Chains A and B, each alone.
Chain A
Amino acid sequence: MDPRTDEQLVEAYRTGESDAFRTLIERHHDDLLRFLIRLTGDRAAADDVFQETFLQIHLSADSFDVDRRFRPWLFTIAANKARDYLRRKGRRQEMELSAPVGRAGGGEERGGVQFVDLMEIDVPAPDAAADASERDRLVQRALDDLPLPLREILLLAYFQRLSYAQIADDLGIPLGTVKSRLHAAVAAFARKWKASQNGDDR
């Protein structure tokens, strides 16, 4: 395994070491592809966007500031490519206004606003799932129901486990917006997950 950091590999690739690029792709393959599968909801599309993302990395390698971290850059480019893909697909998120209210449970309603309490939700546990592929399918369906901006920030946070400040920096949006958007994203996802667990869907 190459002991060099991502940033050092980019630097090496820029100076003509083509193997460094393969190392970068292999190193981030699993996480990035999963991120894209979750974001696009389509494995074939994730494959395409994955390739487009690394092509963009190749094209922009010279402009990459090696004093910054590579992984957030990679995921931001991937998110942009996925957004372009979804736009090309003409996909538009729809909300079911009435559905979440008073059906999924796992929270309380105050003044017309639903509050989610994770302690009242059976969170998906990998080892407890009888069927991993079925769990994947349910998670994906819950994600697919999220509006894209929420899904995007949820996935960026989950896959990168970054601080709000880092996310705000990477996405170029105010820290307060990151925070409120991620809170909303987690709440919406948890509720949809809960709804899917109850079989209260589709």
Chain B
Amino acid sequence: MKDARNASADGEHAPALSAADAAALDALVDAGFDLEAVADEHRGRAERIVALLDPLRDAGIAGSARLVEDTLAHALGLEPHLCADDAAALDAWLEADGDPSLVPQAMRARAERHRALADAVCHCDAGDREALVDRTLALVQATIDRDAESLAFERAARRRVRFADVASVAAVLLIGASVLWPVLSSVRDQARRIACAANLHGAANAMSGYASLNQNALPMVTASYGGGTWWNVGKGPDRSNSANLYTLAREKYLSLSSLACPGNPNAPTVPASPEDRDWRTLDEVSYSYRVISGPQTPRWLDRTRVLVMADRSPVVQRAVRGERVNPEASTPNHGGRGQHLLFNDGATEWHASPVLPNGDNIWLPRSLERVLHQLSGGRLTGRELPDGPDDAFVGP
């Protein structure tokens, strides 16, 4: 037998043809599988190849050199065959767990041969047992030690990373919150505005009911404020304009909660006492009401369209405390973004500015507006009255 070469670049384990057989196969393929055309030096091997390929040719794979070579090599790997008796004896011997004495008599001699072959293969010098056992245990121990070190390092790393993880997660949450906050805030504001607008619609219905029973008068418990101060909430009907509006709740035209804007955290939704005739403090009041001024007071569904109710005045709140006011500021109920207005025709509107399209500032009487206009300053004293039926001017 010629020396088989073991070196191979691709490292496959599939059997490969020897160089001489491969050359013969190439020659055969080049010759179109015509043995006559194969060079003499390859002829002998080519004849064997053709013999082996005969069964394959029927399968239609001949012609592809690589495929043929692989198939051929594989076929060679299965050659030669055990004779039938040896095959049967091998099966019986293995089924007998390798003990020929357990194999049927007729096959025993061949089973012994199988065992002899196996024994020849299985018996070789195994060398120094202790040395290899010790080396193996040392390798395993080294791996255990390395894993332990690696684990310790990973744990340490994990501890270090944990802070970074927390920080990064926190950063993500903060960024997320900063992005979402205005959105959520806006959603909350929107909800408040809707609830507030519903309040004014309810107030419009209540005023309509009140007016129908009171000659179209607006809610009123005082005839006039001739010279009195109207921003003293809770100090009695003669000293508080808000007591006029409270009448709607006291006389059950609406519930007190309908006069509580969601934008006012201090607004009571139920009366502190059934005897109450007014809110108790200015902070509790959610809506400013047309400053009632006796005979000049406009009427519900009057020919003149005039403001009846609005989100609470920021000007009065500051003026009461003696602070300088910004007449163009919007109500605190809706974050200063604007206010709802209810007119005596029952309509409610959202206005981003307290100055109506006709230039009338709803927080101030026209007289003061004129002075302010002239002086670019001035103070509201709580004694001012509307300049006439068409002067939009609301107090607490």
Cα-based distance from A195 to B135 in the complex (angstroms): 38
Cα-based distance from A117 to B118 in the complex (angstroms): 16
Count of A interface residues, CB-CB < 8 Å:
88
A191-202 contact mask (Cβ, 8 Å, vs B): 1 or 0: 101010000111
With A30-B126, A139-B124, A147-B77 as given contacts, are A163 and B94 in contact (CB-CB < 8 Å)? yes
- Nearest A-chain residue to B121, judged by Cβ: A158
**Contact assessment for A94 and B4 in the assembled complex, using a CB-CB cutoff below 8 Å:** yes
CB distance from B128 to the nearest CB of A (A): 10
Contacts of A95 in B (CB 8 A): 4, 15-18, 21, 73, 76-77
Contacts of B135 in A (CB 8 A): 47, 51
Asked whether B272 is an interface residue with its Cβ less than 8 Å from the other chain, the reply is no
Count of B interface residues, CB-CB < 8 Å:
74
Contacts of A59 in B (CB 8 A): 143
Asked whether A34 is an interface residue with its Cβ less than 8 Å from the other chain, the reply is yes
Contacts of B60 in A (CB 8 A): none
- Nearest B-chain residue to A103, judged by Cβ: B1
**Contact assessment for B45 and A97 in the assembled complex, using a CB-CB cutoff below 8 Å:** yes
Kindly identify which residue among B17, B89, B109, B140 contacts A97, using a CB–CB cutoff of 8 Å: B17
**Contact assessment for A126 and B133 in the assembled complex, using a CB-CB cutoff below 8 Å:** no
Asked whether A12 is an interface residue with its Cβ less than 8 Å from the other chain, the reply is no
CB distance from B4 to the nearest CB of A (A): 4
Contacts of A37 in B (CB 8 A): 124, 126
With A29-B133, A115-B83, A116-B86 as given contacts, are A98 and B78 in contact (CB-CB < 8 Å)? no
Kindly identify which residue among A31, A92, A112 contacts B122, using a CB–CB cutoff of 8 Å: A31
Asked whether A173 is an interface residue with its Cβ less than 8 Å from the other chain, the reply is no
**Contact assessment for A139 and B4 in the assembled complex, using a CB-CB cutoff below 8 Å:** no
Kindly identify which residue among A43, A133, A157, A163 contacts B127, using a CB–CB cutoff of 8 Å: A43
Cα-based distance from A182 to B86 in the complex (angstroms): 12
Contacts of B97 in A (CB 8 A): 161-163
Asked whether A91 is an interface residue with its Cβ less than 8 Å from the other chain, the reply is yes
B100-123 contact mask (Cβ, 8 Å, vs A): 1 or 0: 000000000110011011111111
Contacts of A170 in B (CB 8 A): none
Interface centre among B6, B12, B94 (most CB of A within 10 A): B94
- The dominant DSSP class at the B interface is helix
Kindly identify which residue among A30, A90, A126, A150 contacts B77, using a CB–CB cutoff of 8 Å: A150
Contacts of B98 in A (CB 8 A): 161
CB distance from B3 to the nearest CB of A (A): 6
CB distance from B66 to the nearest CB of A (A): 15
- Nearest A-chain residue to B125, judged by Cβ: A136
Kindly identify which residue among B13, B20, B94 contacts A93, using a CB–CB cutoff of 8 Å: B13
Interface centre among A124, A147, A154, A155 (most CB of B within 10 A): A147
Interface centre among B48, B76, B83, B110 (most CB of A within 10 A): B83
**Contact assessment for B127 and A94 in the assembled complex, using a CB-CB cutoff below 8 Å:** no
Cα-based distance from A183 to B140 in the complex (angstroms): 38
**Contact assessment for B122 and A159 in the assembled complex, using a CB-CB cutoff below 8 Å:** yes
Contacts of A1 in B (CB 8 A): none
Contacts of B49 in A (CB 8 A): 97
Contacts of B127 in A (CB 8 A): 33, 43, 47
Query: A20-43: which have CB < 8 Å to B?
Result: 21-22, 25-26, 29-31, 33-35, 37-38, 43
Show the binding face of B for A, using Cβ within 8 Å.
1-18, 20-21, 24, 44-45, 48-49, 51-52, 54, 72-73, 76-83, 85-87, 89-91, 94-95, 97-98, 109-110, 113-114, 116-127, 129, 132-133, 135-137, 139-140, 143-144
Show the binding face of A for B, using Cβ within 8 Å.
21-22, 25-26, 29-31, 33-35, 37-38, 43, 47, 50-51, 54-55, 58-59, 83, 86-101, 107, 112-119, 121, 123-126, 133, 135-136, 139-140, 143, 145, 147-150, 154-155, 157-159, 161-164, 179-184, 186-191, 193, 195, 200-202
**Top 7 A-B pairs ranked by shortest CB distance?**
A161-B98, A114-B80, A92-B8, A124-B120, A201-B1, A97-B21, A90-B11
A–B complex contacts, Cβ < 8 Å, 12 sampled: A29-B132, A30-B126, A58-B143, A113-B81, A125-B116, A136-B124, A147-B14, A162-B97, A179-B91, A184-B78, A186-B117, A201-B1
